Amino acid sequence: MTAVMENDPPSNQPINAPGNQPNERPDASDNQAALDDLVALLDLEAIEVNLFRGRSPDENRQRVFGGQVAGQALVAAARTIDERSRLVHSLHAYFLRPGDPTVPILYEVDRIRDGRSFSTRRVVAIQHGRAIFNLQASFHDHEPGHNHQLPMPEGMGDPLDLPDFHTRMAPYAEQIGDWYHRPRPIDLRYVDGDPTSRRGQSTTKQHVWLRADGVLPDDPVLHACVVTYASDMTLLDTTLLPFGLDWDTAGMQMASVDHAMWFHRPFRADEWLLYAQSAVSTSSARGMAQGTIFTADGRLVVSVVQEGLTRLTS
């Protein structure tokens, strides 16, 4: 399953040299419409008990974006939880085969267990009669208890003072083409500079502010699914930072292999969240990165670990 980066054009054109195309920016209504399209993308069709159908956006992609499948699979799992207050607290997923964006994806849910305070679901995503993805998720009723967390990194600034996608990529608009001008449902802003601008510099960490670029309904399940979708956008390229490389390096082949998330506290995906990411290990053409997601007021709300293919073919 492709781990498409936030600024990766669908046909994978290289981003190597600036162009001269003018900076035509979508406005707030365009971005809200893109976010509404994402919400519709996550709204699966129930076709039988424990069986749901999802679609892919009409974009020129070779493979389905991994975050889309993870988000849709979590929606399918949550649709089978009868207790409205029982929310996802963890998920573990494997990307098995590339998804075909031209045909629907079937999501088959196995209701493994419903206990007094926990429920467990297993979801298999199927295309062309074969599994392309599986996910296991656990749901838990809220309970009182002790409270502890790691502190939020300091000095992350105001996300509104950082360049958005269209500002960062304006010099490359001609190479990206129509992909540059499209509105985006997720606003991502790099604190340390985006990976392309840091090519050749060795580091192990990056920090990204993110939010859904509009207003979402007051549904905690939807907010969890939107963050699941967004969590796959930038984490894997963190594994290339120690080598001064990025996703656009010639001959670089990248794909998500497995993805795990833990949801600690309530949050809204349409408010700014800081995604602090670090490279853990890279070996045998696989890279592992971990991320912690904080609200703007410093609450740790989500932890993420991802391993993926980072194969340099030339």
pLDDT level of residue 173 (50, 70, 90 thresholds): confident
pLDDT in tens, 18-48: 443 444 678 899 999 999 999 999 999 999 9
In this predicted structure, the answer to whether residue 61 has a pLDDT above a threshold of 90 is: no
pLDDT in tens, 82-126: 999 999 999 999 999 999 999 999 999 999 999 999 999 999 999
Residue with tokens 């920016």: 25
* Residue 6 clears pLDDT 60, i.e. is over it: no
Please tell me which residue, 282 or 23, carries the higher pLDDT value: 282
Contact 207, 277 (CB under 8 A): yes
Are 54 and 105 spatial neighbours (Cβ–Cβ below 8 Å)? yes
When pLDDT is cut at 50, 70 and 90, the band that residue 11 belongs to is very low
Catalytic residue ranges: 232, 256, 306
CB neighbourhood size of 94 (10 A): 17
Across all residues in the chain, what is the average pLDDT?
91
CA 292 to chain centre: 13
Among the listed residues 11, 2, 25, 298, the one whose alpha carbon sits nearest the alpha carbon of residue 187:
25
Average of per-residue pLDDT across 68-72: 97
**Structure confidence at residue 1 (pLDDT):** 54
pLDDT digits (tens, 9 = 90+) for 232-262: 999 999 999 999 998 888 889 999 999 999 9
pLDDT band at 181 (very low <50, low <70, confident <90, very high): confident
Phi, psi of 145 (to 5 degrees): 180, -175
Query: What's the pLDDT band for 14 if we cut at 50, 70, 90?
Result: very low
Q: Where are the domains of the chain?
A: 28-142+155-312
The whole-number pLDDT of residue 171 equals 85
Query: Is pLDDT above 60 for 143?
Result: yes
**Please, what CATH class does the domain formed by 28-142+155-312 belong to?**
mainly beta
More confident residue, 267 or 314: 267
What is the Cα–Cα distance from 101 to 243, expressed in whole angstroms? 32
CB atoms within 10 A of CB 16: 11
Q: 233: number of CA atoms within 13 Å, CB side?
A: 28
Please say whether the beta carbons of 192 and 237 come within 8 A.
no
The torsion angle over the Cα atoms of residues 79, 82, 86 and 91, rounded to 10 degrees, is: -40
At residue 189, the pLDDT reads 97
Q: What is the pLDDT of residues 217-235, one digit of tens each?
A: 999 999 999 999 999 999 9
What confidence category does residue 67 fall into, taking pLDDT thresholds of 50, 70 and 90?
very high
| 214 vs 192: CA distance, rounded Å | 24
